[in-house]
Amino acid sequence: MTQLHIESIGHGPDLVLLHGWAMHSGIWGGVREQLAQQFRLHLVDLPGHGLSPACEPGTLEHMVEIVTEILPERCMVGGWSLGGQIAIELALREPARIEGLALISTTPCFAKREDWEWGMEHKLLLLFLENLKQDYAATIHRFLTLQMSGDRNAATILSQLRKHFFQRAEPDPGTLQKGLKLLQDNDLRARLEAVKQPVLLLHGESDVITHPAAANWMHQQLPQSQLVMFPHCGHAPFLSYPDQFITCLNEFRTLSR
């Protein structure tokens, strides 16, 4: 089994936070201290990211299995972007252990399909994958910039994002390529109706990576869901609106227990 890097701090109900593609748990640095006043936080580096070693075969199912091994007996799980898809699978796999989900800038299906207009074009994901192989640094910088597109404080937030990202070693290149393949292939729409836990949906109105309409669609499919949209906000509401983000999680905590 792959040994995941986890940092646990604070006191209170257990909250596991899962970062997105190409990132690591240091991305929560702007909100961790305040959240730790209300929660027992478990900040996880997913396989091949941050301080966690890569694993094979690197499928979504395998990542879910690995994260399952480190889950507290009962907890809330918060997932950002790709981490949100992992959180959904965890909720389906471990309904007795997971009391609630916070899905941050999450979509059930990243890629556009004939019956799903709110995804990224397949050719764009393929181009991104090819560019990643040829020039890792430039591709990552473009990805970070894209996350802040449409944000009212794009320059400031982008600076924070880059600062957090480069605090740790570069993600494993093979893991990044597999992660992009996951984003291209994953489609969790048909599985959402099986999620029985309370769900908090947190999304930026200007997000160009996971379309806001995807969050609205999930809100309609999930009977026990709340949706909070952050105005003039890109792909990282916990960086753009840290205080409001923390308030939302604190208020949701009482509803998911």
Q: What is the pLDDT along the chain (257 residues), one digit of tens a residue?
A: 558 999 999 999 999 999 998 899 999 999 999 999 999 999 999 998 989 998 888 788 889 999 999 999 999 999 999 999 999 999 999 999 999 999 999 999 999 999 999 999 888 888 888 888 888 888 888 888 888 888 888 998 888 888 877 777 778 888 888 888 888 899 999 999 999 999 999 999 999 999 999 999 999 999 899 999 999 999 999 999 999 999 999 999 876 65
- HEC letters along the chain: CCCCEEEEEECCCEEEEECCCCCCHHHHCCCHHHHCCCCEEEEEECCCCCCCCCCCCCCHHHHHHHHHCCCCCCEEEEEECHHHHHHHHHHHHCCCCEEEEEEECCCCCCECECCECCCECHHHHHHHHHHHHHCHHHHHHHHHHHHCCCCCCHHHHHHHHHHHHCCCCCCCHHHHHHHHHHHHHCCCHHHHHHCCCCEEEEEECCCCCCCHHHHHHHHHHCCCEEEEEECCCCCCHHHHCHHHHHHHHHHHHHHCC
Predicted TM-score (pTM) above 0.85: yes
Which residues are catalytic, by number?
A: 81, 207, 235
Domains and CATH numbers, the chain: 5-255 (3.40.50.1820)
